[in-house]
Amino acid sequence: MLDVLIDNTTAILVFLVTVVLGWYILTLPRMRNMPPGPLPLPVVGNYLMIARPGVSLLTLFPTLAARYGKIFTFLAGSTPIILINDAKLVKEAFIKNGNIISSRPQHYYVVKKISDRLGLGMTMSNGRQWKELRRVSVTAMRDMGAARTSMEGSIQEEVTELLKVIEKVKDAPVDLKPWLMKATSNIISTIVFGSRFDYEDLRFNLLLQRLAKATSVNIFFLAVNFLPLVRYFCKKEETFIKSLETINAHIKELLADREESFDPSNIRDFVDLALRKRMDDPKERHFQDLNMRRAIVDLYSAGSDTTATVLHWLLLFMADNPEIQARCQAEIDEVLGDVRMVRYADRVRLKFTDATVLEVLRLRPVAPFGIPRYVEENFDLGGYTIPRGSVCFPNILAINKDPELFAHPDRFDPTRWFGENGEVTGRDRIVSFSVGPRSCSGEAVARMELFMFFTSILQFYTVLPGVEGKPVDLTPVLGFLNKSRHQELVLKKR
Ligand code: HEM
């Protein structure tokens, strides 16, 4: 009996040692001359570091950046994930080597599963599919929307609607985040469907609820992507994909209304542009139903919550820094008074307000690690080899707080953006929208929204903490995104 036990234990030990040694023998040579990083464990790599309760990428990746310098490797299972923590290196990788690092990883288990069931869409697709959908959506942002008034006109219309809501809830504590979300989502509605939804519209509210649920899951770092065994035990990604399917069905309903009124001689928005492409070439698969719906979901999920969150951060920072808020308001009073509505061109004269928006974008980049990039060929970066098949993330959080670029990087100080002659300079020191051919395609719209919504709110209201004397909570929610916490604020009529 004892002999059998000893034999079995020895066999198990031999097996385990073989697995461990085999794993290191296969993996370590592949990692030669790759950026440094924490010592990986067999099979799981460094994955356990993020699987620990209470640990968030928001804290882990900047800590690893501080330990390993400008670039480091984090092994998720056996997939090398390269974090680039330096602005110059991100630009060298994403702009200079843009042709080999502008794809999205398709081997991510969840990405593949979603694409199989819901089409490829835009944000996670590659090649012609991506290029075509990106081109059409950028055209829609530039030329379409709101019966072809400019994007600025659409934002002014939405500002007016948001101010009406604020007027109703003014002077009392209120959680503004859901309203900011409705306002920024309506800018996407204008790009996609050519018009905004009423804030009380049931279908619109349902869409936002479903999107909020879907975007709360961090699909890029789910264990199922890297550890095949987990697929048998954990079905978290199924719940996520089901919620995307519901959104997809919802978009289908909204599209049905629009398809009826399609007139090829009167192109109004993204949907019309896509329908015309489909009409011109019925075989063109990039604009077929599934892909188009998926691209619409992509636009809502990339453009609504992101902008609303930064806007929320701006209001929280104002409640926390009354002297900075007062300086913005003094400038706004001088340039706009209380009669004229803000225009984007006003930022040239509203320098301090413009710098305040930049400073919050620096301190709270909502997508702190961007969206993963797949490396298609080996290339050299910072003296290391970045191997084909690895996945790169820009560590936007670390770059925006690089002490070599920003003295006292944790300090909230809009004046750091002023050059010698008082102009706002050096905007490209931060990479909150990422860089290169695959950077945020909605950057221009987002910057316009942030400036115009923020200025208009401060023009008529002063932002105060929800409870007098109680500091606002500026700590982000632990997770993959740099999300603000729901909390009440008071908007006091000026
Ligand atoms: C403050 C607001 C926003 C921030 C900080 C932000 C940031 C980002 C970042 C970091 C990426 C990843 C880019 C990369 O892979 O290098 C991205 C992608 C993207 N963003 Fe934004 N974004 C914002 C608002 C918007 C808006 C308003 C829209 C739409 C109107 C939008 C549409 C997109 C799309 C479609 C992508 C995927 C681009 C592609 O794969 O080609 N974003 N965004």
Domains in the chain, CATH or no CATH each: 33-493 (1.10.630.10)
Number of Cβ within a 10 Å radius of residue 481:
20
Taking residues 173-189, report their average pLDDT. 96
Q: Do residues 371 and 123 touch, judged by C-beta distance below 8 A?
A: yes
Phi, psi (rounded to 5 degrees) for 84: -105, 120
Q: Do residues 312 and 448 touch, judged by C-beta distance below 8 A?
A: no
pLDDT of residue 144: 62
pLDDT of residue 2: 63
Taking residues 319-330, report their average pLDDT. 98
Taking residues 136-161, report their average pLDDT. 82
Does residue 491 surpass a pLDDT of 70? yes
Mean pLDDT of the chain: 90
Ligand 1 site: residues with CB under 6 angstroms? 122-123, 134, 141, 188, 298-299, 302-303, 306-307, 310, 365-367, 370-371, 432-434, 438-442, 445-446
Does residue 216 surpass a pLDDT of 80? no
Q: Do residues 178 and 293 touch, judged by C-beta distance below 8 A?
A: no
Q: Which residue's CA is minimally distant from atom 17 of ligand 1?
A: 440
Residue % of the chain over a pLDDT of 70:
97
Taking residues 295-301, report their average pLDDT. 93
Q: What's the pTM value of the predicted model, to 2 decimals?
A: 0.93
Taking residues 79-101, report their average pLDDT. 95
Q: Give the DSSP per-residue string, 259-278.
A: HHT--TTS--SHHHHHHHHH
Does residue 145 surpass a pLDDT of 60? no
Half-sphere exposure of 94 (CA within 13 A, CB side): 30
* Band of pLDDT at residue 350, cut at 50, 70 and 90: very high
Distance CA 215, CA 481 (A): 10
Judged by average pLDDT, the poorest of 185-194, 259-268, 321-330, 388-397 is 259-268
Does residue 243 surpass a pLDDT of 80? yes
Residue % of the chain over a pLDDT of 90:
63
pLDDT of residue 471: 93
| Residue 275 CA to ligand 1 centre (angstroms) | 24
Distance CA 307, CA 184 (A): 7
Does residue 150 surpass a pLDDT of 80? yes
**Backbone region of residue 426 per phi and psi (left: phi > 0; alpha: psi in -120 to 50; beta: other values):** left
Q: Is 234 annotated as a binding residue?
A: no
Taking residues 345-364, report their average pLDDT. 97
Q: Do residues 61 and 50 touch, judged by C-beta distance below 8 A?
A: no
| Helix residue ranges per DSSP H, 337-480 | 351-363, 396-400, 443-460
- 3-state DSSP percent of the chain in helix, strand and coil, to 5: 55, 10, 35
Secondary structure (H, E, C), 109-149: HHHHHHHHHHCCCCCCCCHHHHHHHHHHHHHHHHHCCHHHC
Residue 436 Cα: closest atom of ligand 1: 16
Distance CA 258, CA 195 (A): 11
pLDDT of residue 147: 43
Q: What is the pLDDT of residues 25-79, one digit of tens each?
A: 767 767 789 999 999 998 899 999 988 777 788 889 989 999 999 999 999 988 9
| Residue 330 CA to ligand 1 centre (angstroms) | 32
Most confident of 141-145, 259-263, 461-465: 461-465
Judged by average pLDDT, the poorest of 17-21, 200-204, 342-346, 455-459 is 17-21
